[in-house]
Homo-oligomer: A and B are copies of this chain.
Amino acid sequence: MINQQQKDEIDQLRQTVSSTRRPTVAALEEILYDPFPILDHGFIRVIDYMGDDGAIVQAARVSYGRGTKKTTEDQGLINYLMRHRHSTPFEMCEIKFHVKVPIFVARQWLRHRTANVNEYSARYSILDREFYIPAPEQLSAQSTHNRQGRHALLSGEEAQRVLEILKQDANQCYDHYEEMLNETESGEQVNPDNKGLARELARMNLPTNCYTQFYWKIDLHNFLHFLSLRADHHAQYEIKVYADELVNILKLWVPLVYKAFERYRLGGVFLSKEGWGVVKSLLKDHQFSAVDQEASGLSKGEWAEFMALFSRP
């Protein structure tokens, strides 16, 4: 995953400390550059960041001017912004990662167009002999009711055969990749009579469980959008494990935003007009006094907004 030379470089980066007038986040500094292992050969590393919870508040207050300065507390303001989808203040923070993932995961990941990316180029360089082989407990059958889901685990025998295939094909394809390049991973020539196929061509023989890597930089608003899709239980397991780790990093970076995200996105519920109609019908005869604002966990403003929903036409 990370070789000794890379480990040394990371150690050196981590030991270089400068002074800055910029806002810093101690919990994120603590993990800066360190790889978090994911799957069998993948990782996530935080490479850089800009801004913190305070940067969102600062930007929001430029928009809303002098008026709100004294009265609103930071968590309340961030909750308000998240609840009302005022997204521009969240764009004022930025984070940069180094990510190593199987190609088929990278293909999903990079469909998010609002990030900056530099990916390892197999036109220039030779890919490593590293392939994602699922753990046996991930080898599930196709879901019968959800076309993009997994269902029951395969039996031991069937699973065994799958693992055998994946390992064998990956290694054979990689052996042939080296043969076509006429160059092994360690730089040796395979056949002195051959020229070696161009890298941009030879790479086409590698399967999509082969690992790639990229730098990925994204603003906080688009990062939350990515997380709400990819840390969701509908996401494919192999990308969700990355997203789950990214949520942990979010919590370290901007704890107030994390709380709002948990409250309004991860834990929030969206109902259609008809769905809300059902709730209203069910609640028609019920006593509202069963719950009041204080017991609800809602702020006064949220409670007022919530109650107003019941009188919507």
**Residues of chain B within 8 A of A280, CB atoms compared:** 310
**Residues of chain B within 8 A of A76, CB atoms compared:** 299
Which of B116, B170, B205, B213 is in CB contact (< 8 Å) with A166?
B205
* Bound complex: CA A17 to CA B150 (Å): 44
A94 and B92 in contact, given A118-B62, A123-B148 (Cβ under 8 angstroms)? no
For chain A, which range describes its interface: under 10, 10 to 19, 20 to 34, or 35 or more residues?
35 or more
Kindly state whether residue A7 has any CB partner on chain B within 8 Å.
no
**Residues of chain B within 8 A of A298, CB atoms compared:** 272, 274-275, 278
A-B contact pairs, 11 of them (CB 8 A): A18-B22, A67-B147, A152-B195, A162-B180, A166-B205, A204-B207, A269-B270, A269-B275, A278-B296, A281-B291, A283-B286
Kindly state whether residue A247 has any CB partner on chain B within 8 Å.
no
Which of B16, B23, B262, B291 is in CB contact (< 8 Å) with A278?
B291
- Classify the interface of chain A: helix, strand, loop or mixed: mixed
* Bound complex: CA A279 to CA B83 (Å): 18
Min CB distance A47 to B, Å, is: 8
Min CB distance A2 to B, Å, is: 14
Kindly state whether residue A89 has any CB partner on chain B within 8 Å.
yes
In chain A, residues 257-311, which have Cβ atoms closer than 8 Å to a Cβ of chain B? Answer: 262-264, 266-283, 285-288, 290-291, 296-299, 301-302, 306, 309-310
A63 and B274 in contact, given A24-B18, A206-B207 (Cβ under 8 angstroms)? no
**Residues of chain B within 8 A of A107, CB atoms compared:** 103, 107
